[in-house]
Structure 1
Amino acid sequence: MKSLRVLLRTRLEWIEEHLMQNAEKNGYGYITPSMARLYSYLGNAPVPMSELARRLKISRQAVHQLVNEGIHSGFLELLDSPNDKRVKMVQLSQEGQKMATVAIAEINKAEEELKQYIGVENVQELRRILELKWPED
């Protein structure tokens, strides 16, 4: 029997593969999986680079490299922290917000496709289970 870890990772990879394949169709084929993962951790509020490194579980140097790629692509911008001018905050640019909207639409399409394979009730049950309180919550 496969472990829960393997099952969850395999299913997440299915969604990410769907997203990356459709990124090409939507004109974002040059975005790497690492960059897509970084973008997935950015919401509406700016995030400190150190926090991104912690969330992504990668070095600060690696985050700096990804952020620089995102700035060069026009999807990210840096801001000074209002509390500490030494801290750089990362946020999606206007172009990055447009890309995020397209990505969310693709993720929703993947969920609809999943409903066709495993059924609406099973997707709803999966969502219900994953939304339960977990130990670190």
Structure 2
Amino acid sequence: MASDGPAHDDRSSREQLRRQHDETVERRASDAVQRRRAAVDLWRHQRDDEDRRRQEGEQQRTAERRARDEQVRLRHAAEDEERRRQRVLETALRRERVVAHLARSDPARQEDLLRAHEDVERARVKWQEADAVRRQWPSRWPW
């Protein structure tokens, strides 16, 4: 029995060492799995943050582009209206000059001349209003 005791102690100590080794390996494997899961979760979180930031940036750029396009549209409309009012004023001035020339030789045309003066004044006021609206929008040209 004396020879059986150390062999049994040797076997039980080897079994204990094996169990400790298995527990250590299992713990390390479990830790490695947890680290991988944490790394994957972190990567997914970072990717989602980057996607969200990219999408927010695109939305902001789209909104800025829309606002810029709307400003350009409004500026162009104001410029077009100002040019139209300018042409109306130029037409009224030409008509006034013609009526003034005719009124010199025919005094009965004084009433036509007064109407022509009123048309010019109305056209000038409308052109000035359109010019004021156009000046509200920044010019595309630096001069």
Fold-level match, TM-score > 0.5? no
1 or 2, which has the higher strand percentage?
1
Larger radius of gyration: 2
TM-score (norm 1): 0.20
TM-score (norm 2): 0.19
